[in-house]
Amino acid sequence: MLLHKVMKSSALTIERIHFFGPIVVLLLQCFMVNSITAAELHDIKTDRIALLALKDHVTLDPNNILTRNWSTNTSACNWHGITCGARHLRVTALNLAYMGFVGIIPPHIGNLSFLVQLSLQNNSFHGPLPDELAQLHRMKFIYLQFNNLDGKIPPWLGFFTRLQQMILSYNSFAGIIPPSLCNNISSLKALDLSGNKLQGKLPSNIFNVASLQYLDLSENQLSSTIPSTIANISALEVIDLTIKNLSGGLPEHMFYQLPKLKGLHLSKNQFSGEIPSSLSKCRLLEILSLSWNNFTGRIPSEIGNLTMLRILILGSNKLQGIIPEEISNLPNLQFLELQDDNLSGSIPPTIFNMSTLIEIGLISNQLSDLSDNPLNDILPTSIGNLFIFLEYIRIKNSRMRGSIPKDIGNFSLMISFDLSHNQLTGTIPATAGKLQKLQGLYIFDNQLEGSIPNELCQLENLAALNLGNNKLSGSIPTCLVNLTSSLRSLLLYSNRLNSTIPSSLWGLSDILNLDLSSNNLEGSPPLDVKNIRVVTVLYLGDNKLSGNIPRSIGELQDLVTFSLARNAFSGPIPESIGSLVSSEYLDLSQNKLSGVIPKSLEALVNLKYFNVSFNKLQGEIPNDGAFRNFTGQSFIGNVELCGASQFQIPQCQTAEPIAVTMTISKHWLNIMIDVAAALDYLQNGNPTPIVHCDLKPSNILLDEDKVAHVTDFDMAKLLGGGDSITQTITLATIGYMAPEYGLEGNVSRRGHVYSYGILLLETFTRKKPCDEIFQGELSLKTWVKVACPHSIINVVDNYLVREEEENLDIKKDCLLSIIELALECSASSPEERSDIKDVLVALNKIKMKLQNVAVSTY
């Protein structure tokens, strides 16, 4: 029985164990799962906090990406630019490239401990890289190019042992490249530090990274020579050391151990010696750029073995000898640049049979007369086939002789053709009109003769035509207006062109640069030149042009350089020329111009060169603005000019200048007080108010005592008991007429107050409301308003105030009061205008103030 109980008890115990065992295991598993989940959740929370810190440090998010998408209500793994690992749900990639962000990279990013890729390129992040990023030991890819990051390149980047690509280009990193940068990153394949401010020597240990395929240190300020250890990088495909300060020669042996090299960029340095023939061992080479160095010797003929070569740039060195014919063996060559060397001999004709060649540059060499080349007139007619595949030809400054072949029309792919600075003769072939893709034709500085062929007007894509400094004759083709949509630069200077400038030429509405100087052109330019509205350079000097300078010249707001020198222009310099706000160069010398130099020219703050010498100008030379920097050379030969001593001409005859300005001010003010008194009498001194409807300067007469009288009452109206009447006929004079007169002829009690305000402005600015400078939305009123109150001295007549006056501030204050009163009188709404009685009181107060100034002065 006892045994049975024991056995039963044991059985129960076993049963309980069997029953509770799975529960215990399940509980243990749940505990473990909960423990792991809690840890992982803690880490995910850390990642979220780090990302939100980045969001807080972005001061500009133009597309609101972070604002709208990085929400605490969703998992960080679902946020824009975030990639998480599948196992741990930790952030492995942060990609926010091309977002336009402005801000700094916060140290919290160093807590993204699973981060493999950091892509923040093409934003505007600034400041240094925080040292906390050194904790990202899993990092493989860093893309921070095209930002504004600064400080030094952190040495801890060299401890990212898994790093494969480090792109830090086009920032503002300064200092040296850390010597330890490449000590421990044996997996590095791409290193780009270009476009920074790095200095010091080129670290030799960079060339110990055997896995490196792409190295770009260009556009820095590094120095030194290329170390021999470069041969250790047998995997290297592209190396760009366009730095400026590298020197020495290229080791002959280095190219034997770079079998995978595709791009070699060593331009803009100080390398010397010969170009190694061992370059031919780099059979995969596609780009070879060695320009702007001091290489000497010959071009190695072995380059002809580089059958993959697409771009060969050897210009601006000291290379000598001939152009190797082996270059024509390069079946993939597209760009050949050999300009600015000392090459001699003939151009191998086989080069022009290369069907892949797009651009060839041979300028500034010592090539022969090209008797065996495509630009000699004795060549066979099949010559056109030699250039048939070329898009760009630049063979300027190469002492070429002969004529341009008629077969030029066969160069159907040609985009730019430059034969300038040579000794070419003959005519421009009409077949050039077949070059339908041509955008630039440059054959200036030769000895070409004949006329400009009309066929050039068929080049509908032509943007630049430069035929200057030849012996071309005849007239300018009128059909050039057909190129309105494309032509931006037309340079025909220093030829023998005659006749007049075609009126159609002024229809080239998008022309930027127009130079017709130094020809035999006659006649007058049209009165309206505003159609060439965007022109920046206009040279018409050294011709036989005559007539007046058109007023519309002032509408060329972008004009920087303008010359009419050495012609026969007459008449005044138009006031509107003071509207050429972009002008830096203005030459009107050696004409027959008369009148005064417009004071409006003082407003041309950018003007650096000004010449009106040898004309018939008179009066005072402006002495403000840019005129403070000019000398007498700008005005010589105008015997009636006067002005400041700096111009080396007689001073203007103005005895007691301060007294004169004071007298003029009081005299003009007295006249306007008399006019105001007359208007007050008409309006308030009669039982029936009278409104003078045509108040203007010609209706103001002075008697022998200099008292002003208002005359010509032909259009005066009796208002009777009302404030206005309606008149059906046209009233008043444009410019002085109140707005309410208009077409309906409403005559108001304060209509002549408006006219008086305009008259007051005219009196003290010496500008008429109908002057040529007031066009479009610019009127006398708006011009004066802009100057008030701080620049009032720039709009009042220069005879009214002088900088040397003792009471200048009081005088300026009086003038400002007069101008402000005039603006109140000329308000658009009659209700806003001052009453003429109040105007009279105000003017008398100003008069008293001026009298007090005069007493204290004397």
Tell me what the mean pLDDT of segment 838-849 comes to: 88
> How far apart are alpha carbons 328 and 154 in whole angstroms?
48
CATH architecture classification, 546-557+569-652: Alpha-Beta Horseshoe (3.80)
Tell me what the mean pLDDT of segment 494-512 comes to: 92
* E-strand stretches of 365-429: 366-367, 392-394, 401-403, 416-418, 423-425
Structure-model confidence comparison of residues 807 and 608, the more confident one:
608
Tell me what the mean pLDDT of segment 426-445 comes to: 93
Whose CA is closest to 46, among 91, 104, 79, 81?
Answer: 91
Question: pLDDT band for position 745 (50/70/90)?
Answer: low
At residue 641, the pLDDT reads: 87
Structure-model confidence comparison of residues 353 and 815, the more confident one:
815
Q: Between the CA of residue 429 and those of 132, 338, 403, 434, 646, what are the distances in Å?
A: 70, 27, 9, 10, 54
At residue 406, the pLDDT reads: 83
Q: Between the CA of residue 193 and those of 141, 168, 504, what are the distances in Å?
A: 14, 5, 54
Percent of the chain with pLDDT over 70: 83
Whether the per-residue pLDDT at 795 is higher than 90: the answer is no
Tell me what the mean pLDDT of segment 710-720 comes to: 52
Whether the per-residue pLDDT at 699 is higher than 80: the answer is no
Whether the per-residue pLDDT at 657 is higher than 50: the answer is no
φ, ψ of residue 156 to 5 degrees: the values are -65, -15
Classify residue 355 by burial, with Cβ atoms within 10 Å: 0-12, 13-18, 19+. Answer: exposed
At residue 228, the pLDDT reads: 80
Whether the per-residue pLDDT at 721 is higher than 90: the answer is no
Whether the per-residue pLDDT at 37 is higher than 70: the answer is no
> How far apart are alpha carbons 144 and 126 in whole angstroms?
11
Q: Are residues 460 and 437 in contact, defined by beta-carbon separation less than 8 angstroms?
A: no
Q: Between the CA of residue 354 and those of 305, 363, 367, 508, what are the distances in Å?
A: 15, 19, 20, 38
Whether the per-residue pLDDT at 160 is higher than 80: the answer is yes
Whether the per-residue pLDDT at 828 is higher than 90: the answer is no
CATH 1.10.510.10 for domain 657-857: yes
Structure-model confidence comparison of residues 777 and 293, the more confident one:
293
Give me the residues paired with residue 474 across strands: 497
Tell me what the mean pLDDT of segment 711-725 comes to: 48
pTM (global) more than 0.75:
no
At residue 408, the pLDDT reads: 83
At residue 665, the pLDDT reads: 64
At residue 644, the pLDDT reads: 76
Average pLDDT, the chain: 83
CATH architecture classification, 20-152: Alpha-Beta Horseshoe (3.80)
CA atoms within 13 A on the CB side of 92: 8
Q: Are residues 819 and 761 in contact, defined by beta-carbon separation less than 8 angstroms?
A: yes
Give me the residues paired with residue 700 across strands: 710
692: left (phi over 0), alpha (psi -120 to 50) or beta: beta
Tell me what the mean pLDDT of segment 243-258 comes to: 89
3-state secondary structure of 610: strand
253: left (phi over 0), alpha (psi -120 to 50) or beta: alpha
Contacts of 554 (CB under 8 A, 6+ apart): 574, 575, 576, 577, 578, 579, 580, 772, 773
**Count of C-beta atoms within a 10 Å radius of residue 797:** 17
At residue 715, the pLDDT reads: 45
At residue 4, the pLDDT reads: 37
Q: Are residues 675 and 654 in contact, defined by beta-carbon separation less than 8 angstroms?
A: no
At residue 43, the pLDDT reads: 59
At residue 11, the pLDDT reads: 37
At residue 739, the pLDDT reads: 78
φ, ψ of residue 102 to 5 degrees: the values are -125, 135
Pairing of strands 221-224, 197-201: parallel
> How far apart are alpha carbons 553 and 225 in whole angstroms?
58
CA angle 728, 732, 734 (to 5 degrees): 115
Tell me what the mean pLDDT of segment 523-547 comes to: 88
**What are 15's two structure tokens?**
């049963």
> How far apart are alpha carbons 663 and 635 in whole angstroms?
30
Structure-model confidence comparison of residues 197 and 400, the more confident one:
197
The torsion defined by the Cα of 529, 532, 536 and 542, in degrees rounded to 10, comes to -50
> How far apart are alpha carbons 357 and 736 in whole angstroms?
70
Whether the per-residue pLDDT at 28 is higher than 80: the answer is no
Q: Are residues 575 and 552 in contact, defined by beta-carbon separation less than 8 angstroms?
A: no
Same fold, 20-152 and 546-557+569-652: yes
Question: pLDDT band for position 404 (50/70/90)?
Answer: confident
Tell me what the mean pLDDT of segment 281-295 comes to: 96
Whether the per-residue pLDDT at 684 is higher than 80: the answer is no
Contacts of 5 (CB under 8 A, 6+ apart): none
At residue 388, the pLDDT reads: 62
Out of 104-108, 130-134, 696-700, which region has the weakest mean confidence (pLDDT)? 696-700
Out of 223-232, 236-245, 310-319, which region has the weakest mean confidence (pLDDT)? 223-232
Question: pLDDT band for position 476 (50/70/90)?
Answer: very high
Classify residue 815 by burial, with Cβ atoms within 10 Å: 0-12, 13-18, 19+. Answer: buried
At residue 661, the pLDDT reads: 52
Top mean-pLDDT range of 178-192, 640-654, 702-716: 178-192
Return the domain boundaries, the chain.
20-152, 546-557+569-652, 657-857
